[in-house]
Amino acid sequence: EEDDPRYWGPIKNISNQALIDLTLTVLDPEKQLNAENFSILDQEEGTFHCVWIVETPNGQKVIIKVPATGHADRWTPEDAVNMKSEALTMAHLSMHTNAPVPAILGFDCTFSNPIGAPYIMMGFVEGKPVHKVWYQHKHNIEEIRQNILTSLAKAMNEFGKLEF
């Protein structure tokens, strides 16, 4: 289904300029930065989201995450509630734990923004996706996997300290 253009709608075709305009809207409301000095470093897509890495003139990297359902043919009120909950939960975890959760810089559950789609903008966290590391055939793969599991256990321990 995800290869069907109707699944993504216009999401995969969001222009670089629209992404830069969104970044400027969120990070520079006083409009002091020049859009020419922004760059799109990468675009990745998963099963449920499309993600862009944007770099600002001062070297700050941000992530813009847009759901595959983030177009008029598929977006539902439940999707908006879930996205808002995701953004607010991440913001809470980022502020109240030492877990490596990116800071939420902004989010919008509507189509009324420069990219015309719901999004979450967050700080960039350096690292590699687990799925790109876990199955590598390296001589020290067990050590690498142990480090991943230890990092995951430390994050889960941080989450366990929270009270709601």
Q: Model confidence over 46-85: pLDDT tens digits? A: 889 999 999 998 899 999 999 999 999 899 999 999 999 9
Is the predicted pLDDT of residue 17 greater than 70, yes or no? yes
Q: What average pLDDT does the segment 29-39 reach?
A: 84
C-alpha 119 chain-centroid distance: 8
Helix intervals (H) in the chain: 5-8, 16-27, 77-96, 130-133, 141-160
Q: How far apart are CA 39 and CA 20, in angstroms?
A: 8
Q: How far apart are CA 5 and CA 42, in angstroms?
A: 21
The domain spans of the chain are 5-125, 127-164
Is the predicted pLDDT of residue 156 greater than 80, yes or no? yes
Identify any residues that bridge with 50 across adjacent strands, giving them in sequence order: 45, 66
Q: What average pLDDT does the segment 4-13 reach?
A: 86
Q: Which residue has the tokens 């359902």?
A: 69
Q: What average pLDDT does the segment 112-137 reach?
A: 92
Identify any residues that bridge with 145 across adjacent strands, giving them in sequence order: none
Percentage of residues in the chain with pLDDT exceeding 70?
98
Specify the pLDDT at position 49: 94
Candidate from 36-45, 78-87, 129-138 with smallest mean pLDDT: 129-138
Q: Which residue has the tokens 């520079």?
A: 28
Q: How confident is the model at residue 2 (pLDDT cuts 50, 70, 90)?
A: low
Identify any residues that bridge with 155 across adjacent strands, giving them in sequence order: none
Q: What average pLDDT does the segment 85-103 reach?
A: 93
The domain defined by 5-125 folds into Phosphorylase Kinase; domain 1 (3.30.200)
Q: What average pLDDT does the segment 81-106 reach?
A: 94
With beta carbons less than 8 A apart as the criterion, state whether 58 and 23 touch: no
With beta carbons less than 8 A apart as the criterion, state whether 118 and 108 touch: yes
Q: How far apart are CA 163 and CA 135, in angstroms?
A: 35
Q: What average pLDDT does the segment 6-10 reach?
A: 86
Q: How far apart are CA 158 and CA 153, in angstroms?
A: 9
